[in-house]
Structure 1
Amino acid sequence: EPANRSIFEYVASSIEWLDVCNEGFANFHLVFLMRLTRFLGFMPNVEGMKEGEWFDLRTADFVAEQPLHNDTLTPAYAILIPKLLRLRYGTMRLFRFRGTERSQLLSYINLYYRLHLPDFPELKSFSVLKELF
């Protein structure tokens, strides 16, 4: 029950913030989804992460060498994971992504969820989010 309460409070406060926000919310969906991983139990392990490392989407760890599978983020995208986890709604407007970066990050986050939540469905709203942001 306490875990469900925490998730509820996080989702509710996020929706409340978005409801009153008039601008600077282009990264909302990315920040929301990455921070939600903490409550769901598969938040990326960013401790000791070094620039130039790959992010293994399967293990949620940063690694020095490219894993032998394709469920990875290149170092160029891996470096963005800790930044997304640190961003707050009120300040996320200060961090700018190009549209292509935002779209690619959303694809990676979608795959990350599907790898860690076996029953996670293919999001129908995924293509809508890509178009909007």
Structure 2
Amino acid sequence: HVHALYENAFESVDGITLKSNPDGRFNANYWLSTILIDPVKTGTNYDEVRRKLDEQGIETRPLWKPMHLQPVYATNPCYVNGVSERLFNMGLCIPAGPWVTDEDVAYIVEQIKGCCMK
């Protein structure tokens, strides 16, 4: 339910992409909702949005750091193409789950939209 609310709310926001199932072969439980924030289209970045949301009492987190960027793997060989870094630099996990109300979603979306270019 929460994911559907986010989907509807972000549908018309240029530069904010809510990650969803790629097609009907998959059935996600949406325990985690993730948005990608395009800094060119929004005039902001995930870290600025994260900080603003934190100021409003909204808990978020960045996407998981790619394995090859973690200190423990710094000396290991890696084969990358830039996708994981791009997602990490644009992604933000936003509140989801059964405790998030419709009103919470509306407030969260309003705060995120407020961070973007007018």
Measured against the shorter chain, the TM-score band is: 0.3 to 0.5
Greater helix share, structure number: 1
Greater strand share, structure number: 2
